[in-house]
Amino acid sequence: MVVRINQAGQTARRRADPWSLAALAIASLVLLPVLSVFWIAGQGGWDIWPHLLSTTLPRYAANTLVLMVGVGLLTSAVGTGAAWLVTLYRFPGRDWLQWALLLPMAVPAYVGAYALVDFLEYSGPVQIALRSVFGWQSARDYWFPEIRTRGAAILVLSGAFYPYVYLLTRAAFREQSGAVYEVARALGVGPVARFVRVGLPLARPAIAAGAAVVMMETVNDFGAVDYFAVQTLTTGIFSIWLQAGNLAGAAQIAACVLVLVVALVTLEKASRRRVRTHGSARALRPVAVQALSGWQGWLAMLACLLPFGGGFVLPAGVLLANSLDAEQWVEPGLLRALWHTLAVGLTASVLCVAMGVVMVYGARLSGRRLPVLLLPVTAIGYAVPGAVLGIGMLIPLVALDNTLADGVLALTGTDPGLLLTGTSAALTLAYVVRFFAVTQGTADATLARISPSLPMASRSLGRTAGGTLRAIHLPLARASLGSALLLVFVDCVKELPATLLLRPFNFETLATRVQAKASLEALSEAAPAALTITLVGLAATILLARSTR
């Protein structure tokens, strides 16, 4: 009997080889662009570094670190504070504010930057109102703070990214036992001390994870920092490649950015390695919500209204006011950009979900160590900034193009030239690599919740591995995979750095149209595209809010 079992296991593993190979192929596709960044960096000379070190590189690095630390600290404070208030207290507007605080996720950071400048600049409504009230005639009559600064960039990025911390921390607070707070209250610990000594230590892993995501998104951002004229490592990649024409130098800076991101992820994981929080084996007692009355309740409402208003209401209101002209909505350029965005985004989203399911299912089915070990490694694509990914895609695309061209030439005698490089297919592949971690993580978590007895019963009835996937796994995972598909699509719609570097000539998406129009100070022409991006993101955020109830 033991021999038969071993033979059956060996047969199953042999049959699972195609799935294992598929998992390895997908992992290679995701990891090759990251590895090629270092290969490109090593091909060029390092003679550009003395010039960079004596001129712009210290400023690039300093601005990047200041933005990361500033945005990380501010989002941690805002997201954690808002999560604490809506979880443990009842105050006016709390029921809708706990969902409204997620809405800034629908607004890209670069859209928030354009809206803030339009709202506060000399010809904006704030300064017009000030001149009208006080009778000032020109800018020489009064002082107004400079808008396009590093501090303003930190505020805008924080307003766009704090929901990452808020979402994770709110879930952590809701999962804590109410008995812990009741004991602290019985010992005479006040509200502030309960927050500092009980709530924060228990929620520290969630706060650290959210802050790490925020800082990675800060490194990735190009549109907002470029509009505020803040030179970072990401803007340096664009300058050295597109303006100086030095691809190797850009790849060398990209490699530095990649090392910085990997170090950040490693530090975040190391900080949580020794932190252990365990719940009781019994059902946890839910946290008792306390009512805040009087000025305390209104102060709590104001504290939650400020990030919601700055991160969503202000940019959405400015965009709406600038897009009231009906003719702007039927411009051929806008419609073409919308079509390009939908086509590339939907294609990349479907491929992302399909590849994520195949890799996770193949790794689980094969039973081999290598595919299982590669699963978490492929998530690094989400941490790679779009500008870095744009450079890394070049070598794999050119190699694949040459292979395809040689095959077509051997079969037909005709050289087709480049089939992928410089086309929308390159952009689609970049999106797949960039956001593959979202669908891979969702597929891994969803398939792990399916009882092993179900696929075993299906296989015992004669179904193949593919038939079991279609009949058992996909129907049970449909809701989660659908949410992942929508989230990837929204990320594709908002993605700017990789799109700017890899898009074909004269190929616009909604994101690149917004950036092009806003860089010319034509916000009224950029508003319809920006508002469309916001509406797509709003739909995904509402779906996310419903799934986290």
Local confidence band at 2 (pLDDT 50, 70, 90 cut-offs): very low
> Which range among 17-21, 192-196, 258-262, 298-302 has the greatest average pLDDT?
298-302
Residue 297 parent element (H or E) = helix 295-308
Is the confidence at residue 39, as pLDDT, over 90? no
**Phi first, then psi: what are they for 91, rounded to 5°?**
-150, 170
Longest dimension (CA), the chain: 96
Instruction: Indicate the SS3 state at residue 14.
Output: helix
Cα→Cα distances 402→36, 79, 406, Å: 16, 48, 6
The whole-number pLDDT of residue 340 equals 92
Asked whether residue 5 carries a pLDDT value surpassing 70, the answer given is no
In sequence order, the 6+-apart residues with CB closer than 8 A to the CB of 160 are 104, 105, 107, 108, 109, 112, 224, 311
Residue 204 burial (C-beta neighbours within 10 Å; 0-12, 13-18, 19+): middle
Q: How many CB atoms are located within 10 Å of the residue 521 CB?
A: 13
Which domains does the chain show, CATH number per domain? 22-40+323-549 (1.10.3720.10), 56-273+298-321 (1.10.3720.10)
The pLDDT assigned to 519 comes to: 82
- In whole numbers, what is the pLDDT of the chain averaged over residues? 82
pLDDT digits (tens, 9 = 90+) for 120-167: 988 889 999 999 998 888 888 888 888 899 999 999 999 999 998 998
Rounded Cα distance, 468 and 400, in Å: 33
Q: Residue 8: pLDDT above 60? A: no
d(CA 347, CA 354): 11
Alpha helices (H) in 394-473, listed in sequence order: 394-412, 424-448, 453-460, 465-468
What's the length of the chain? 549
> What global pTM score does this model have?
0.83
What does each C-alpha distance from 343 to 346, 445, 499, 540, 549 come to in angstroms? 6, 28, 14, 18, 32
Distances (CA, A) of 314 to 118, 152, 231: 11, 14, 25
